[in-house]
Amino acid sequence: MEILLNPGPVNLSERVRKALLKPDLCHREAEFSQLQNRIREKLLRIYDLPATGWAAVVLTGSGTSAMEAMVTSLVPQQGKLLILENGVYGERLTRIAEIYGINHVSLRHEWGEEIKIGKGWAQFKDITHLALVHHETTSGRLNDIRPIAEYCAANNISLLLDAVSSFGAEEIDFANWPIAGCAATANKCLHGVPGTSFVIVRREALLEGKVSQRSLYLDLPTYLTHQERGGTPFTQSVQTFYALDEALDEHAEAGSWQARRACFRGRMETVRNGLLNLGVKPLLEEGGSSCVLNAFHLPDGIDYQTLHDGLKARGFIIYAGQGEFAKTLFRISVMGALTDGDIERLLAAVEEILS
Ligand SMILES: *Cc1c(COP(=O)(O)O)cnc(C)c1O
């Protein structure tokens, strides 16, 4: 089987794969209701969130559906959204705002550039919501949310976080950051199957009821109303729910997000040091990247396709740079059911291809 070093979908553990084979189930039966309730509770437990203040809304769709549901359900018609971009997914947040005609301004940074708090922000008036990506998978940069969250709290601004590639493996300080919504997915750090995504919402943010419905399928209040009663407005992807339920148990038993971060950090350090020994340099400074994914400069004299195909022939799938990064970078993610041996064999394979 191929070892997936792309940022999701990830290699499944046998336990999660087997969960896909559970009995067929109607989404209007009590057993589905219990399954969905369990998942919603376990998602809150990862960051110790009380169900009185927070709710997990579970959707059938990829991570982008959760982003779109978050932005369209939480920014009121009278509100104004500031979007901080430093990569493809930040730009995607802007696309969503454009498509739905949401009043917004976007502050563009170079891809991979650090977002520095405050500079030039005085020009932004009447901002009610601020959206950004936590781990910007384009470059591997883990955006430093804390100072931005403090700015938001001081200015009465609600935070919308795309945590699709960080939820379950990086710190998200729900208690102190003014988060209204946090979008994430089953098939990245949580090690589930693609097809389920979710938004963690602050209940107050939905109950304010200031948002007129913009979307039929991606409306969080509609889902929340049904899910609180154990139902669902639309057919959910039952098998991927089974897999997520199992993946969440595996995640909790291993020690939750802190243990997963330690695991990913360990793997990434091996990859980073191993590649440095081969003369392959990371894009970002030490400490700038997430534990999940790092971007690396393609070594002189080798293009992405050659490296990709050489590694694929040896059983490893790496990931290209996006857009303008395609010619100069490659990316390695360390999520999924990998072993230390896989990482050692990867480094040996890179060495073989480069020599
Ligand atoms: C993967 C990812 C998404 C969602 O991508 P899908 O292809 O819709 O699953 C969104 N944001 C970030 C930061 C991601 O890494």
From first to last of its 355 residues, the chain has per-residue pLDDT tens of 899 999 999 999 999 999 999 999 999 999 999 999 999 999 999 999 999 999 999 999 999 999 999 999 999 999 999 999 999 999 999 999 999 999 999 999 999 999 988 777 878 889 999 999 999 999 999 999 999 999 999 999 999 999 999 999 999 999 999 999 999 999 999 999 999 999 999 999 998 778 999 999 999 999 999 999 999 999 999 999 999 999 999 999 999 999 999 999 999 999 999 999 999 999 999 899 999 999 999 999 999 999 999 999 999 999 999 998 999 999 999 999 999 999 999 999 999 999 9
pLDDT of res. 72? 98
Q: pTM for this structure?
A: 0.97
Phi, psi (rounded to 5 degrees) for 214? -105, -20
Instruction: Pick the residue whose CA is nearest to atom 12 on ligand 1.
Output: 164
Instruction: Pick the residue whose CA is nearest to atom 2 on ligand 1.
Output: 164
Q: CA 190 to CA 175: how far, in whole Å?
A: 21
pLDDT of res. 120? 73
Q: What one-letter code names the amino acid at 326?
A: A
pLDDT of res. 124? 86
Q: Is the CB of 162 under 6 A from ligand 1?
A: yes
Beta-carbon contacts of residue 59 (< 8 Å; ≥ 6 apart): 65, 66, 69, 196, 197, 198, 199, 218, 223
pLDDT of res. 324? 87
Specify the residue for token string 């059983």. 315
Q: How far is the CA of 354 from the centre of ligand 1 (A)?
A: 31
How many residues in the chain?
A: 355
C-alpha separations of 161 from 22, 71, 145, 292, 344 in Å: 33, 10, 9, 17, 34
Beta partners for 330?
A: 296, 320
In 5-49, beta strands by DSSP E: none
C-alpha separations of 7 from 207, 281, 319 in Å: 34, 19, 8
Beta partners for 316?
A: 3
Q: Decide: residue 72, CB within 10 A, 0-12 exposed, 13-18 middle, 19+ buried.
A: buried
The closest alpha carbon to 307, from 289, 322, 327, 290, belongs to 327
Instruction: Pick the residue whose CA is nearest to atom 6 on ligand 1.
Output: 63
Tell me the three state secondary structure of residue 113: coil
Q: CA 279 to CA 299: how far, in whole Å?
A: 7
Q: Is the CB of 73 under 6 A from ligand 1?
A: no
